[in-house]
Amino acid sequence: WGSSKDRVCCGKRVPKRIGRIYNDLKGLLTHCKRVGEWDGFLYAAPVCSEAEKITLEERGIMDPGVQNYLAWRRSVIVMVVFMGVLQLPIMPMTVYNSLQTLRDTAADV
């Protein structure tokens, strides 16, 4: 999060946001492990990394349970996006049908 730096790709600097995406992909195994930790964020289990903890404390979030929950939720989002991006070229019709079902469900509400 806060420790991500500008990256250089093909001799050009990429923005800090791209550096965060790079760090998320680089730490994909950590995210996989963290997604399975659905029970630990309620307690004092160290789900949140030090960099995430520092960033969240700078933003006024001091409770370790909330920090762990936010780190866990971020990992779930990263894994869902990764699996969706991975599945899109393999099964485009399935992805399209899933999105259409979500749209239809949202329209009914």
pLDDT in tens, 60-93: 999 888 888 898 899 899 888 888 888 878 888 8
Asked whether 79 and 32 are in contact (CB, 8 A), the reply is yes
Instruction: Answer with the residue of higher pLDDT: 52 or 25.
Output: 52
Residue 57 has pLDDT above 90, yes or no: yes
pLDDT for residue 83: 86
Asked whether 97 and 105 are in contact (CB, 8 A), the reply is no
Residue 4 has pLDDT above 60, yes or no: no
Mean pLDDT, range 11-26, rounded to an integer: 73
Collapsing DSSP states into helix, strand and coil, what is residue 14? strand
pLDDT for residue 1: 46
pTM of the full predicted structure? Answer: 0.61
Q: What is the mean pLDDT of the chain?
A: 80
